[in-house]
Amino acid sequence: MNIIETKGLGKRYGKAWALHDCTLTVPEGCLAALVGPNGSGKSTLMNMAVGLTLPTEGTASVLDGQATGSPVALDDIAFMAQDAPVYKNMSVADMLHLTRNLNRRFDGPFARARLTDLGIPLKKKSGKLSGGQQAQVALTLALARRPRLLILDEPLSALDPLARQDFMATVMTTMADEGTSVLLSSHALAELERVADYLIVLGGGQLRIDGEVEDLLATHRVLTGPTAEADRYASQLSVVQVKRAAAQAHLLVRSSGTDDPVLPGWEAHPVSLEELTLAYLRAPHAEALPKPANTNHTEPTEAAR
């Protein structure tokens, strides 16, 4: 089953495209990391997946073909919008009561027990809680709906390192215990590398690359060698990005695996998820390259400039 499928999906505001021609397939059971700079279309994609925004072009479905925004889909999706939204003048208990009344499925005993375990007073106003506590309240409200798909829009941006760690520990535990799939938007690339199974990179309102993290890392690598030979070597390869220094060049390339030949005087190194993501974002006008043979996902890529 796929948790999200889009075909040629786009959203235009006036003459400007917030997202354009986005086609992707996100499998069930994964934590899909949605990455890109501000204004790249991340929130627009999430809002269309939930059904809060209607597309200008293309189609989107969730949870194995359910229409986005349909009652059936909404029963199985929980969405935590950016900045851990809570009503600051309401007590935590009132937030639980309100959320229970607005949803057909809500596990109140679970929510109260979880907040008690976290030491968050139910009688305290939400606005008096710390940023980490507010995020945990918002996450608890989402998890109490027992979703099959949890969508989180920049939940870590306002949290300190300890709060981020606690938040992600809760998400990972929920995935393991409940089988919940997660779509998570974040700028914290180093943290995503530890938890993400699937990667979606948006830039300038367009899909730069997507696929299972294991496949993407296996089909990319960094080559280092003499700068004088960089252009000759690059002409023989599917290059994503070239970095040149006085003596040494670094080429991030698409490859068929670690057995690809390396020219004398050059060395091959594994690529990190952060390196790969930044390389695709920094080459926004590249030509699409062929899809790796061992994956089934659509993957436009970038060539060096």
- The tens place of each residue's pLDDT in the chain, 305 residues long, gives 899 999 999 999 999 999 999 999 999 999 999 999 999 999 999 999 999 999 999 999 999 999 999 999 999 999 998 766 788 899 999 999 999 999 989 999 999 999 999 999 999 999 899 888 998 999 999 999 999 999 999 888 778 888 888 889 999 999 999 999 999 998 888 888 889 999 999 999 999 999 999 999 999 999 999 998 888 887 878 888 889 888 899 999 887 665 677 888 899 899 999 999 999 998 754 433 334 444 444 333 333 33
SS3 assignment for 231-248: HHHHCCCEEEEEEECCCE
Question: What is the DSSP code string of the chain?
Answer: -EEEEEEEEEEEETTEEEEEEEEEEEETT-EEEEE--TTSSHHHHHHHHHTSS--SEEEEEETTTEETT-HHHHHTEEEE-TT----TTSBHHHHHHHHHHH-S---HHHHHHHHHHTT--TTSBGGGS-HHHHHHHHHHHHHTT--SEEEEESTTTT--HHHHHHHHHHHHHHHHHH--EEEEE-S-HHHHHHH-SEEEEEETTEEEEEEEHHHHHHTEEEEEEEGGGHHHHHTTSEEEEEEE-SSEEEEEEE-S-TTS---TT-EEEE--HHHHHHHHHT-TTPPP-PPPTT--S--------
What is the residue extent of each domain of the chain?
2-212, 219-281
pLDDT at 286: 44
Nearest to 138 by CA among 99, 106, 164: 99
Q: Is the dihedral of CA 67, 72, 74, 76 positive or negative?
A: negative
Count Cα neighbours of 204 within 13 Å in the Cβ-side half-sphere. Answer: 9
Cβ 156 vs Cβ 82: under 8 Å: no
CATH of domain 2-212: 3.40.50.300
pLDDT at 296: 42
pLDDT at 164: 86
Token pair 């099959």 is at which residue?
148
Structure tokens at 36: 């890109």
pLDDT at 293: 44
pLDDT at 132: 86
